[in-house]
C-alpha cells in the first residue's frame, strides 16, 4: 500500500432500480487512516452507495479498486474477504445476549481483537446498555475479521451528547489503527468534529468533496441542498462536484 493510493476507490459507479437512477457517475475514495463523512439529504443515495460497497447491491456500472487492484464485489462475502465491514443503523444486536455473545454471534470460531470498549461488563446484557455502548459493541463486532475499511451508518443517530462523544472517540481510535472509516450521518456537527473529508451526494450524484480544514458547514449545506446552483451562471452549477472541491479545498 502506498501513501497516496486510496485503500478503496470507486470509479463511475451507477445503480438503477427500474426507472429510478439511484446512483450515477459516483467516484469515491478512502485512504488508510482517513475518516470520510458521507452526507446528503434523504434520497441522496447514501444508503445505496453503502449497500453497493458492502455487496448487498451489485452496481450496474463502474469499477472498484482495493489497494490499487481492480476487484469485483458481488455479495457481502466478497466485501468481507476484501476487508470491508459495515455497521448498519439498526446494529443487529441481540438484546437478551451479553456483550461476548453478541461479539461472536455468527463468528464463534474467530479470535477477538482489541475492541477498546467503554462498557461496565462484557457479561452485561446488551439490552441494558445505553445507545453509545450498543454502538461500540456493534463496531467492535465488525472488527473481529480485522477489516481495513469500516462503514458506519448513522452511528450517532438518537444519541445524547455524552453518548455521541463516546462514539466519536471510538471512530478516532479506528483512524489511529490505520483503518479507512466512512461515516454516514445527518449530524454535521459530529461530522465536522471527527472526519478529515466530507463527500456530498445529491440526487445520486457527487455534489462536493470538501477538506474539513478548509470549508464551513454553510458550504456543505449549500452542496447538500443545491443552493450553489443559483449562484452560478452559464450552466456551471451542473459541475457541482468540481465546484465543491474548489470551495472546500479538498482533493480526490
For 131-149, letters b (16+ CB in 10 Å) and e give bbbbbbbbbbbbbbeebbb
Above pLDDT 70, what percent of the chain? 69
Residue in 195, 231, 228 with CA at minimum distance from that of residue 214: 195
Would you say the C-alpha torsion 178, 182, 185, 188 has a positive or negative sign? positive
Domain ranges across the chain: 8-248
Provide the pLDDT for residue 246: 37
pLDDT tens digits along 72-96:
999 999 999 999 998 876 544 444 3
User: CATH code for 8-248?
Assistant: 3.40.50.300
The residues, any chain, with a CB within 8 Å of residue 161's CB and separated by 6 or more, are none
Instruction: Report the C-alpha gap between 84 and 76 in whole angstroms.
Output: 9
Residue 202: is its pLDDT beyond 80? yes
CA distances from 217 to 37, 161, 182 (A): 12, 19, 18
pLDDT at 242 over 70: no
For 54-89, give one letter per residue: b (16+ CB within 10 A) or e: bbbbebeebebbbbeeebebeeeebbbebbbbbbbe
DSSP state of 56: S
pLDDT tens for 124-179 read 565 656 666 666 666 777 677 789 999 998 888 877 788 888 889 889 989 999 99
User: For residues 185-221, b (16+ Cβ closer than 10 Å) or e, as one string?
Assistant: bebeebbbebbbbbbbbbbbbbbbbbebeebeeebbe
- Specify the 3-state DSSP secondary structure of 17: strand
Average pLDDT over residues 215-236: 74
Q: 117: how many CB neighbours lie within 10 A of its CB?
A: 16
Q: At what angle do helices 240-248 and 217-225 cross, to 10 degrees?
A: 180
Amino acid at each position: 500500500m502506498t501513501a497516496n493510493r486510496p485503500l478503496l476507490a470507486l470509479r463511475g459507479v451507477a445503480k438503477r432500480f427500474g426507472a429510478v437512477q439511484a446512483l450515477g457517475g459516483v467516484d469515491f475514495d478512502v485512504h488508510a487512516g482517513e475518516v470520510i463523512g458521507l452526507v446528503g439529504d434523504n434520497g441522496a443515495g447514501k444508503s445505496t452507495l453503502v449497500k453497493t460497497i458492502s455487496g448487498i447491491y451489485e452496481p450496474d456500472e463502474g469499477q472498484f479498486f482495493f489497494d490499487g487492484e481492480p476487484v469485483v464485489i458481488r455479495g457481502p462475502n466478497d466485501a468481507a474477504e476484501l476487508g470491508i465491514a459495515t455497521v448498519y443503523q439498526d446494529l443487529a444486536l441481540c438484546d437478551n445476549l451479553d456483550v461476548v455473545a453478541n461479539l461472536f454471534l455468527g463468528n464463534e470460531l474467530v479470535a477477538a481483537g482489541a475492541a477498546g470498549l467503554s462498557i461496565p461488563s462484557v457479561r452485561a446484557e446488551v439490552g441494558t446498555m445505553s445507545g453509545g455502548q450498543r454502538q461500540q459493541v456493534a463496531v467492535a463486532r465488525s472488527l473481529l475479521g480485522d477489516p481495513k475499511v469500516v462503514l458506519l451508518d448513522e452511528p450517532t443517530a438518537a444519541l445524547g451528547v455524552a453518548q455521541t462523544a463516546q462514539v466519536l472517540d471510538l471512530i478516532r481510535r479506528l483512524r489511529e489503527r490505520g483503518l479507512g472509516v466512512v461515516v454516514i450521518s445527518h449530524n454535521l456537527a459530529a461530522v465536522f468534529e471527527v472526519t478529515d473529508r466530507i463527500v456530498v451526494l445529491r440526487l445520486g450524484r457527487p455534489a462536493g468533496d470538501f477538506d474539513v480544514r478548509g470549508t464551513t458547514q454553510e458550504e456543505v449545506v449549500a452542496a447538500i441542498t443545491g443552493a450553489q446552483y443559483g449562484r452560478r451562471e452559464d450552466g456551471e452549477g451542473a459541475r457541482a462536484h468540481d465546484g465543491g472541491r474548489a470551495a472546500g479545498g479538498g482533493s480526490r
